[in-house]
Structure 1
Amino acid sequence: MDDLFASHDALAIAQLIKARKLGARELLDGTLGRLRSLNASLNAITDLYDGDLLERSVAAAGDGPFHGVPFVVKQLMADCAGTPTTLGSRFFAHGPVAASDSAAIAAMRRAGLVIVGRTNTSEFGLAPTTEPAFGGATINPWREDLSPGGSSGGSAAIVAARGLPMAHATDGGGSIRIPAALCGLFGLKPSRGRVSLAPIGETLAGAGAQHCVSISVRDSAALLDAISVGEPGDPYRAPAAGSFLAATGRPPGRLRVAFLLKPVGGDALDRSLVTAVERTAKLLEELGHAVEEATPDYDMAASGAALGTIMAANTWTNIQVRANGRVPGPDDLEPVTWQTAEHGRTISAHDYIRAVQTFHRTGRQLGAFFERYDVLLSPTIGRPTLPLGAVRMDGSVETYQEGLAPMVAFTSVCNAAGVPAMSMPLAWTDDGLPIGLQFMGRFGAEEMLFSLAAALERARPWRDRRPVKGGLA
């Protein structure tokens, strides 16, 4: 399996199965063995299926573009029938057990994916790292003292280690893009309403989204094709689109690209990040795009505070909805989660509505910016690496927020505004660690982003750069 996942993405593997050059069962058994071996050092997977649960996953896989490809689902924002969704918390370790798949998971199965397990996440997805007290820290396969980021760090670590070609991920403030950046992967957060969150109506006032992290652009595009189907009664939908996979095969045209060398309203960045943006801007110019430095006009502090208010209120509400009458005490949750939930319990309707209005104002401000530009380029995160323990959930909210701030300085506004954004591993530190570059587009512009991403992937490929026992292959 090592060589297979190093050289083939999910679409290519499915083609081998359909051409009968690779047996689906052979692939499944070999992958499960590989995942067990990797997980012994990475702690990325919380549950690996076996027995009847595994056989039901095999039977449920449709004959779609990913037919027979093993897949793992994050322990957050998505239910898999017959298993609990723990949200990375001991409080939900044993239930409730999902009676059915959530809509996106059902669509993934129809696309042919064989779900074989669940991946680690920070508790309730609150941290941009993956170090929950329940289950322990996930290790970045690039270096054992580093976090893979979060909250989709379990998924990112296992894909970075080439245990799988892609894995489920969710994003409420950067949780697809942050681990993609730190693990050398591609990760795109879709527009608000692109992927249904049914059976729930929305999450984080529309800031939450789900999709995947992957080793290739085209896998991400094909999966979004498969799961961007609306459900009856969805509260809103992103604009209609064509095939995202088809978009990867056509040139993006001459785009108007703006770039940032520091966060909006923020401080100067590490020189390695500035260089990464400058070199990527130069590459874009060489590819024929119009590129200039420009800053959108929005209040980053207000947008961040609004997201914090909405996250706190959602944390308390989600506990109430899922707990079946149980009330957690301080020993049931990590200290920051507990403090966040308690704060959420006291948030007034007035404060919540003002936070949602800030989201809408930010969206309109970015909308005006994207009348002048097609793409906004920046680093994905505001630091080159994330050591384990740099963002703590076992102390005060103030200490947690200090660690959080540089991690979401570029990502969280995309969630507030509902716009699509992707992280691409287009630069590397002097010691060979990946640096993610974020590309943000206007609402509904995933086709343009995928077209640009495919062109950049061809110009500066990354698939052969992967961690091998702490070094590069």
Structure 2
Amino acid sequence: MTTIHAFSDDALGDHDAVTLAQLVRDRQVSPEELAAAAAARAQCVDPELHAVACQLPPRHGTNPNAELFGVPTFIKDNTDVAGLPTTHGSEAFTARPAKKDGAYTTQFLSTGMTLLGKTRMPEFGFNASTEYMTEEPVRNPWHPEYSVGASSGGSAALVAAGVVPIAHANDGGGSIRIPAACAGLVGLKPSRGRHRDGEQVSHLPIHMISEGVLTRSVRDTAAFVAACENHWRNQKLAPIGRVCGPAQRKLRVGMLMDSVTGESVDGPTREAVEQTAALLEAAGHVVEPITLPVTSQFADDFVQYWALLADLAVGTGRLILDRSFDAAKADGLSLGLRAQHRRTLHRTPGALLRLRRVADQYARMFARHEVVLSPVLSHTTPRIGYISPTVDFPDLIDRLRRYVAYTPLNNIAGTPAISLPAGLSPDGLPVGVQLSAAYGDERTLLELAFLLEAERPFTLLSSSETSSRAT
């Protein structure tokens, strides 16, 4: 199997972000050297990955005492960075350079990281694969014929391939956790309001987007969320603080195999969840099966809301994005969702009403359990083209409903969830599992993630015997 990676014997090596930041503090390497190495790696592999939306001269952090000072990174292309266009992955308009950094960009960069550019995403983040109508798709470094997930697909590809150890991602229906599962990464979707919100949140009838990162190690994710709290913290949420390893307390874990769509999981995914349950039990935690707190109506309501957002995005593109926006050039998924919403507009008020009740229904899962273990997706990542926006809409939406069957519940409930690598499928593709917790309890998720990483060290692309560096 052909893989694509950029790992080499340069300043970055195969280190994670925490190690690189320590090397900078110890003056063993400079931020400039790390940025140059990452830029060279991007130049090496991006002609095959197609993960970079745009690059800029390294924008270095200004606080040498920041947690991740000097670590190179990228920001997803739905977040404003002064001087760079924000395209939202759309071919329907020509974006102008942003006049200033977005609120979340300021918090993200407060961690001290060096910004190198932006990463690609599917149009408006609606798809679960980073594919386009006419442009090249973002490819999975584990196997370039397969999807790397979405909507934070460009970030996932760069982190998995070793260009940078950490990159920005955000999640409105699984967009951190899905690419994490597809690319063998750690992807924490924080609680609603945990970080500064992106500007697009103010336009949403239901706030369902969380900001975060994709990393190759649990400690990088833990270091990042702790560093973000040093800049700004939501006083309504208990602080996460710096999580450094597993906790000693024993937890009650609910194992959830049912999905909101009724779709059965494939063999590799089921095996990954069951093996994870066995690891948790061996560590002294109690694992027992549970059932969903919502019915299949949730899936219908989520798709209705998804369609509403597409209708708003396409219908207001000229007003909100740019006067050059041409609705006819939106992709097949956006246009298909918009058309569906216009046919079913009468269902939207009821769907929104029911979705606003989901947080209370979700909370019932945690009356007895502290954590819920489930798949991230119903099957391993598909080949490029399977959920492309060029697929006929009825087939495309059916495939997406079946595939993305576990992640949206946390977005509507506003609760935290983390995707963790759980090994490889027989085809050599990453498989992820999801841990979910009650609102505001990211700390428990990180503590369990440290445990699983120690008990079953994550298989990373750099250590794969089948890897071959792109030239």
**Greater length-normalized contact order (CA 8 Å, ≥ 6 residues apart):** 2
Aligned partner of 1:23 in structure 2 is 30
Shift of 1:191: 1.0
Shift of 1:368: 1.0
Tell me if 1:449 matches 2:437.
no
Tell me if 1:44 matches 2:51.
yes
The 8 Å contact of residues 92 and 325 in structure 2, kept in 1 or not, is answered as no
Aligned partner of 2:209 in structure 1 is 208
Shift of 1:355: 2.5
- 1:444, 1:127 → 2: CA distance? 27
Tell me if 1:195 matches 2:212.
no
Shift of 1:455: 1.3
- 1:25, 1:402 → 2: CA distance? 47
The 8 Å contact of residues 272 and 431 in structure 2, kept in 1 or not, is answered as yes
Aligned partner of 2:352 in structure 1 is 356
- 1:132, 1:238 → 2: CA distance? 40
Residues 366 and 329 from structure 1, CA distance in 2 versus in 1: closer, same or farther, beyond 3 angstroms?
closer
The 8 Å contact of residues 107 and 196 in structure 2, kept in 1 or not, is answered as no
- 1:293, 1:24 → 2: CA distance? 48
Shift of 1:343: 4.7
The 8 Å contact of residues 215 and 463 in structure 1, kept in 2 or not, is answered as no
Q: 1:240 aligns with which of 198, 216, 237?
A: 237
- 2:468, 2:256 → 1: CA distance? 29
Alignment of 1:399-410 (within 5 A): 399-410=395-406
Aligned to 1:7, what secondary structure does the other structure show? coil
* Long gaps (5+) in structure 1: none
Aligned partner of 2:99 in structure 1 is 99
Q: TM-score, normalised by structure 1?
A: 0.90
Shift of 1:407: 2.5
* Long gaps (5+) in structure 2: 1-6
Residues 228 and 275 from structure 1, CA distance in 2 versus in 1: closer, same or farther, beyond 3 angstroms?
same
Q: 2:326 aligns with which of 321, 325, 328?
A: 328
The 8 Å contact of residues 238 and 444 in structure 1, kept in 2 or not, is answered as no
Shift of 1:2: 2.5
Aligned to 2:350, what secondary structure does the other structure show? helix
The 8 Å contact of residues 141 and 469 in structure 1, kept in 2 or not, is answered as no
- 1:68, 1:12 → 2: CA distance? 11
**Aligned partner of 1:457: which letter?**
E
Residues 62 and 317 from structure 1, CA distance in 2 versus in 1: closer, same or farther, beyond 3 angstroms?
farther
Superposition RMSD in Å:
2.5
Q: For each residue in 1:209-258, what CA deviation from the matched residue of structure 2 results, as whole angstroms up to 9, or x when unmatched? A: 121110011211222233358989xxxx68422344x2233515111101
Aligned partner of 1:179 in structure 2 is 179
Aligned partner of 2:312 in structure 1 is 317
Aligned partner of 1:89 in structure 2 is 90
**Aligned partner of 2:144: which letter?**
E
Q: TM-score, normalised by structure 2?
A: 0.90
The 8 Å contact of residues 142 and 470 in structure 1, kept in 2 or not, is answered as no
Bigger shift: 287-296 or 402-411? 402-411
Q: Percent identity?
A: 32
Residues 258 and 100 from structure 1, CA distance in 2 versus in 1: closer, same or farther, beyond 3 angstroms?
same
Aligned partner of 2:4 in structure 1 is none
Shift of 1:6: 5.4
Alignment of 1:23-422 (within 5 A): 23-50=30-57, 54=58, 57-58=59-60, 63-76=65-78, 78-92=79-93, 94-133=94-133, 135-202=135-202, 203=204, 205-227=206-228, 239-244=236-241, 246-251=242-247, 253-264=249-260, 266-299=262-295, 301-319=296-314, 320=316, 321-326=319-324, 328-330=326-328, 332-344=329-341, 351-422=347-418
- 2:466, 2:120 → 1: CA distance? 21
Q: For each residue in 1:433-464, what CA deviation from the matched residue of structure 2 results, as whole angstroms up to 9, or x when unmatched? A: 21101111111110111111111111111155
**Aligned partner of 1:212: which letter?**
V
**Aligned partner of 1:72: which letter?**
F
The 8 Å contact of residues 194 and 238 in structure 1, kept in 2 or not, is answered as no
Residues 433 and 328 from structure 1, CA distance in 2 versus in 1: closer, same or farther, beyond 3 angstroms?
same
Q: For each residue in 1:267-292, what CA deviation from the matched residue of structure 2 results, as whole angstroms up to 9, or x when unmatched? A: 33222222211111110000110111
Q: Number of aligned residue pairs: give it.
A: 458
Aligned to 2:146, what secondary structure does the other structure show? coil
Shift of 1:334: 1.2
Residues 342 and 395 from structure 1, CA distance in 2 versus in 1: closer, same or farther, beyond 3 angstroms?
same
- 1:21, 1:44 → 2: CA distance? 30
- 1:251, 1:272 → 2: CA distance? 29
**Aligned partner of 2:89: which letter?**
G
Tell me if 1:440 matches 2:436.
yes
The 8 Å contact of residues 141 and 468 in structure 1, kept in 2 or not, is answered as no
Deviating beyond 6 angstroms after TM superposition, the runs of 4 or more aligned structure 1 residues are 229-232
Aligned to 2:92, what secondary structure does the other structure show? helix
The 8 Å contact of residues 191 and 444 in structure 1, kept in 2 or not, is answered as yes
**Aligned partner of 2:301: which letter?**
A
**Aligned partner of 2:74: which letter?**
V
- 1:436, 1:179 → 2: CA distance? 10
- 2:112, 2:459 → 1: CA distance? 23
The 8 Å contact of residues 148 and 182 in structure 1, kept in 2 or not, is answered as yes
- 1:327, 1:145 → 2: CA distance? 31
